[in-house]
Chains A and B, each alone.
Chain A
Amino acid sequence: MTRSPLILAWRRFAQNRGAVIGLAILLVVVIVALLGPTLMPQSPWRMVGRPFLPPLTDGALPLGTDAVGRDVLTGLVHGARVSLMVGLVSTMVALLIGVPVGALAGYFGGWVDDALMRFTEFFQTIPSFALAIVLLAIFQPSLFWIILTIAIVSWPPVARLVRGEVLSLRTREYIEAAILSGQTSLQIIIRQVLPNALPPIIVLASLMVATAILLESSLSFLGLGDPNVMSWGYMIGAARTVLRTAWWLSFIPGIAILLTVLALNLIGEGLNDALNPRLQRREE
């Protein structure tokens, strides 16, 4: 019976209680994000009731209304879509920048490595949140720019990780064997190196989605979100000034962010344990 490493990894993942809980939470959020807008087609910006309606007082508006009478539940459902999309797309863009940079730097070494790593180090040193603020303030906040900005400030760890992995994989003997067998550098990077560097990249990516969601909510909180889409961070930012009178308006979207990010972190940890099992060499 031959078992692929993937099936073994899935079994280890399924044994991790935290990871399974995280996966369950994330599935709920994903379903809400996918189906929510169909089930609640009305605009989250529309006034539907009297302002400051506390939660659990009106059956039609279970989570109450905000300072201008908008439905909190609708906002939450539409926000889920924005948060997940920004998280996923910006992570993908960051991977598209970081993986090639890291792979080229690690594989070719020498001046290529020097140049690319100086560049990466520069982006890693500058305070990323401040850079994101400056970029969005100058280029006007829109979903496109928000995603790009988050990708720009979050790719350096990917590049560093991939470079490190590639550097250590590069000296493995099976890479040397592949070189000797006449495969081209590109073939070797894609077929031999990257598949083996994948586990830590997947783990990092799952954590990056979480960080990107946090970053998006922080930017929206500061008023740098896309003014046309409802997001969790915006909801908290808008409710900040009425914290004393209507605390739940800040509290509820915060819990939504917390649960989503927590779920992603749990999944990331589960993936880490599942994909990088510590080689338990039994001492003889």
Chain B
Amino acid sequence: MVRFILARLVKAAFILLAILVLNFSLIHAAPGDPAAVMAGEAGATDEQFLEDLRRRFGLDQPFHVQLWIYIKGAVQLDLGYSYRRGMPVAELIWDRLPATLLLTATAFFISIIFGVIAGVAAAARQGRWSDSIISTLALLFYATPLFWVALMAALLFSVTLGWLPGFGYETVGANHTGFARALDIGRHLVLPATTLGLFFTAIYVRMTRASMLEVSRLDFVKTARAKGLSPGVIQRRHVLRNALLPVITLAGLQAGQIVGGAVLTETVFAWPGIGRLMFEAISQRDYNVLLGVFFVSAAMVLLFNLITDIVYVIVDPRIRITQ
């Protein structure tokens, strides 16, 4: 188990390293002077700043030296400087990261929990009207653009009905503390987390349903029936556990998409996370921030992957024991 996690960590480190190389190559592949790219649109006219960048990143030296300097910096969590905002990128991201983690983790758990429950319910009632409703809804949300659902939800629940705040992280100027503040943030979280989670809920519903039906046909389910077990126990103990394995694998693969989807949700709901930061950096051509957010979101994905890997190993003895 420890070995397994260790191996995964080594692999994750390699992937992060590869992303740094990719980032660095992108800076060089971009049209124009690399220093100007690093400085971003706002800083590209400040000759002093450009000169400073060239010296710091050795831009007059051979490619591999530059790469080495870049990676060394990144390993020390130096993700560059945002001229536009007058702040180191790492600090900017660090400020915004908790909001994004809160949003994505909530959406992730909401979608897994509801997705699996609805998928199991649909499979158990295969062919009946409740299955049709669940399956149709899943199909519908699977086809709906994330940002559009977010807009429509904001329109309906915030603008029209006024039930929930549709903007920001907490009520500005309310100065809540403690539990009141948590409640306030929670109310703000409902719409972004739900809309972000909807698409993924749809995926998990479809996957769980298909997987449950697949497993129900396997031989050991017949064995369980031959023992005289009740249908409820068979579904829970024999079918569900086995059906969850592919769902867990999928959840790991989808983690990257959830982090990406946060850009859209945070943009619509003005959620002050790294996704929103990325959106702002697009229009400002603030490449250091873009690349920094890209790097950090990749790290987040690797973290989500590691968690699902560990869950998988706990659930599946075949991997646990042979590892």
Contact = CB atoms under 8 A, between A and B. Distances in A.
Interface of A: 122, 124-131, 133-135, 137-140, 210, 214, 217-218, 221-224, 233, 236, 240, 243-244, 247, 250-251, 254, 257-258, 261-262, 264-266
B159 A127 contact: no
A134 B147 contact: no
A258 B261 CA distance: 17
B257 A125 contact: no
A125 B302 contact: yes
B26 A134 contact: yes
A133 B295 CA distance: 13
A127 B298 contact: yes
Contacts, number: 132
Contacts of B279: 222
A223 B148 contact: no
A94 to B, nearest CB: 16
Interface in B134-193: 139-140, 142-148, 151-152, 154-155, 159
B260 interface: yes
B282 A137 contact: yes
B261 A125 contact: no
A139 B30 contact: yes
Contacts of B143: 210, 258, 261-262, 264-265
Contact of B294 (A122, A127, A243, A257): A127
Interface string B218-262: 000000000000000000000000000000000001001101110
B260 A130 contact: yes
Interface string B271-300: 000000011011101010011011001101
A129 B145 contact: no
A191 to B, nearest CB: 31
B151 A130 contact: no
Given A127-B260, A130-B297, A258-B143, A138 B29 contact: yes
Nearest to B19: A126
The interface residues of chain B, by DSSP majority, are classed as helix
B305 interface: yes
B97 interface: no
B18 A122 contact: yes
Contact of A130 (B142, B145, B294): B294
Given A223-B282, A254-B152, A257-B145, A129 B19 contact: no
B62 to A, nearest CB: 23
Nearest to A232: B145
B147 A236 contact: yes
B291 A125 contact: no
| Chain A CB within 10 A, most for which of B37, B147, B282 | B147
B268 interface: yes
B123 interface: no
Contacts of B144: 254, 257-258, 261
B301 interface: yes
Contacts of B290: 133-134, 137-138
Contacts of A243: 151, 154-155, 159
Given A127-B259, A218-B264, A262 B151 contact: no
A134 B294 CA distance: 7
A233 B151 CA distance: 12
Contact of B278 (A122, A133, A214, A262): A133
B220 to A, nearest CB: 16
Contacts of A221: 145, 147, 264
A264 B139 CA distance: 11
A156 to B, nearest CB: 10
A210 B199 CA distance: 14
Contacts of A126: 15, 19, 22, 256, 294, 298, 301
Query: Which of A127, A233, A266 counts the most chain B CB atoms within 10 A?
Result: A127
B23 to A, nearest CB: 8
B101 to A, nearest CB: 14
B11 to A, nearest CB: 9
A127 B290 CA distance: 13
A257 B19 CA distance: 32
A251 B152 contact: yes
B111 interface: no
A129 B263 contact: yes
A250 B153 CA distance: 12
A170 B309 CA distance: 28
B267 interface: yes
Contacts of B282: 133, 137, 222-224
A222 B144 CA distance: 17
A131 B294 contact: yes
Contact of A250 (B15, B152, B263, B267): B152
Contacts of A266: 139
A223 B283 CA distance: 8
Given A137-B285, A139-B30, 7 more contacts: A130-B278, A131-B294, A138-B26, A222-B264, A244-B155, A254-B152, A261-B143
Closest 5 CB pairs of A and B: A129-B260, A254-B148, A262-B143, A261-B143, A127-B256
A129 B261 contact: yes
Given A130-B278, A261-B143, A124 B151 contact: no
A236 B151 contact: yes
